[in-house]
Structure 1
Amino acid sequence: METASLIFLVLLVEFVYDPLATIRNELLIKKSYGIFNNFSKQYIENKFLVYMSFILFCILATIIIKAFLEGYIHWVLSFLFSFTILFYCLRHNEFIERINDFKFIIENKAKIEDETILKILTANMNVNKSFTNNINIITKNLFFSSTRNIFTVIFWFLLLGPGGALGYKILDYFSYTKDLRIDQKTRKNIKDISALIEFIPVRLSALAFAVVGNFEHSLAVWKKFNSEKNNMHKSNIDLINDIGSSSAQLPLDYTKEDIIEKISYIQTLVARSLLAWLSIIMLLILGGFFN
């Protein structure tokens, strides 16, 4: 039951005491990568391999540290270590709060003061602080953003433990960050790997949205969906956003009055989908698939 306990505890702590979210500074990844890069560039010239090596190193280091704490010190320290890693990676409440900020900005025509909103909701889009012309697109993209911040993190945590969650979060950071100078070819290669990692959780998330929303409409859209074989990354985004939009029955255009209601409904769909995921996880744990 450790896996379920960690997931529920992280969700609960984040909900009860949101200020803890301030410890999720992604500059920590940047600084750690800088140290790793200074050491590894003597041996690895290919930038893409350096990024992938750093991710693999973090995954293995996390797994080894957890095993050492559990086997040679005390299971409580191992539990706290796993909790810290998962809390850093899983951002359900922060995602919901940024959506609330997004609704406030729309209603009051306010300016974006916190760039975290853009990082959480529009990392895969070319959107700046003056995004008023992109409100409809951002709204539709909330479904993909939910997989980045919630569902894919949970999926890889279930498979590889805290190392899997951390590895995905770092990969996602490299895919979209503007804090590092990453050339276009390397960025594309990183996104290709990210697309493979997200392939299954994106489809599971799409299925969850369909089940908790308008299933018949979503199923019809899914059957007609044509994936881009040459661009799996874009295909993943289009699939989850199209299925999500159909599950919420989002029209192509919105009035100002409708958009707030639609965004609120998307928040409800995300909450329902998370509940569906947690229910299935509990069944799998009871069935002996996870500890």
Structure 2
Amino acid sequence: MAIRLLVALIVLGLLHVMPQLARWRGDGLFRRWVAQLADTSGSGRVLLALLVPAVLCALLSWLLGHLLLGDLLQLLFSLAVLLYCFGPREFEADLEAILKAPDGASREAAAQNLSEEGETIAWNAAALGVAIAYAALRRRFGVLLWFFLLGPVGALLYRLAQTLGRDDSLRLDSGSRTAARYAANAMDWPAAQLLTFTLAVVGHWEAVIGAWKRWHSQAAATSWYSAGPGFLGAAAQADVLIDIEAGDGYAEEHSDPLVELVRLRGALLRALLAWLSVVALIVLGAWVN
């Protein structure tokens, strides 16, 4: 776990200094592999598409560990895999592009880069807040959670599952498309739950938890894989729309998309620090014992 924490810190630092690194990720090899599986369909095609790269990743990591300077090679391999799994653009860089846009039309155009499924993001505080929350989940927090749990294999599985389940440019039959979406939703679920709770801690607890409870009370038992983590979007929207009464009797303004972007960006940064702090405490606890 200590090595994974170190790798995560290095990668996050590299992306902060050189956000263009996230754009170098190519998925042409994975696309060709998916196309080679055209003779199969449904869940079998999805399992082969995801498990074969994961097994190869695990095998390569194991082989590197048995070479001279194996620990260093494994660290560099984990760093390369994690760097590959972040993206397709650096999350903070996309937020910065919105803030630096010269006019409203440019800001709205820049905001569309937050979408990974092709939907149009309306230029208002609530819609922008939801888009930021999902972009943070799939470009940062989901990757980190699975990396901390399963190492580079977990991060790669998460990234490929999201690509397979949410990229409509991949040619999949209807059964494979459904199974791929289920896999992507299932891998999103635990990270989205933790991110929602963290946002409640660092943001407006009652609004976020209230939206989370309402969504779950209305959701079907299979929603954890069939519907995806809609509670995260509901929680982010509730966090945006709440009016907090200030000490002077006036309410905070939550209708300006740029103001909300800056506030939610700060909340997500605090959430990231909270996650890294928890992992650091786990590492320290292991050392003490």
TM-score by length of 2: 0.83
Q: Which runs of 5+ in 2 are unaligned?
A: 244-252
Map of 2:136 onto structure 1? 146
Partner of 2:250: none
Q: Does the C-alpha gap of structure 1 residues 5 and 102 become closer, same or farther in structure 2, counting only changes over 3 Å?
A: same
Give the letter aligned to residue 197 of structure 1: M
Alpha-carbon spacing, 1:222–1:51, altered in 2? closer, same or farther (3 Å): closer
After superposition, residues 173-192 of structure 1 pair within 5 angstroms as: 173-192=163-182
For 1:267 and 1:21, the matched residues in 2 are separated by 19
**What is the match of residue 57 of structure 2?**
62
2-side partners of 1:17 and 1:133: how far apart? 28
The partner residue of 2:67 within 68, 72, 78 is 72
Q: Which residue of 2 aligns with 1:86?
A: 82
Residue 169 (structure 2) pairs with residue 168 (structure 1): no
CA-CA distance at 1:259 after TM superposition: 1.2
Change in 2 beyond 3 A, CA 1:122/1:233: farther
Unmatched tracts of structure 1, length 5 or more = none
Residues 164 and 180 in structure 2, CA contact (< 8 A), matched pair in contact too? yes
Partner of 2:191: 201
| Matched residue type, 2:261 | I
**How far apart are residue 63 of structure 1 and its match?**
1.1
Alpha-carbon offset, residue 167 of structure 1:
1.0
Q: Decide whether the 8 Å contact of 2:42 with 2:177 is kept in 1.
A: no
CA distance in 1, matches of 2:162, 2:97: 23
Partner amino acid, structure 2, of 1:247: D
The two structures have a TM-score, normalised by structure 1, of: 0.82
Alignment partner, residue 95 of structure 1: 91
Instruction: Identify which of 117, 120, 123 aligns with 2:116.
Output: 123
Distance in 1 separating the partners of 2:242 and 2:51: 39
2:23 counterpart residue number: 22
Structure 1 distance, partners of 2:207, 2:170, is 41
1 CA distance for matches of 2:194 and 2:182? 19
- Matching residue within 188, 197, 200 for 1:210: 200
Summarize deviations over 1:156-178 as a string: whole Å, max 9, x none: 11121101101110110111213
Identity %: 20
CA distance in 1, matches of 2:167, 2:68: 37
2: CA distance, partners of 1:228 / 1:105: 41
Please state how far the C-alpha of 1:78 moved relative to its aligned partner.
Answer: 1.4
| Residue in 1 that maps onto 2:234 | 242
Contact 1:213 1:247 in 2 (8 A): yes
Number of corresponding residues: 274
- Give a deviation string over 1:97-142, Cα, whole Å, max 9, x none: 112323455943128888xx64x52124533xxx556774243232
Q: Judge conservation of contact 1:33–1:54 (CA < 8 Å) in 2.
A: no
* Paired residues of 2:23 and 2:89 also in contact (CA < 8 A): no
Contact 1:250 / 1:262 at 8 angstroms: preserved in 2? no
Q: Which runs of 4+ in 1 moved over 6 A?
A: 111-114
Structure 2: distance between partners of 1:69 and 1:149: 27
Partner of 2:248: none
1:63-93 deviation per Cα after TM superposition (whole angstroms, max 9, x unaligned): 1111111123322121111100001113498
Q: Offset at 1:24?
A: 1.6
Q: CA deviation at 1:276?
A: 0.6
Provide the C-alpha distance between the structure 2 equivalents of 1:232 and 1:5, rounded to a whole number of angstroms. 31
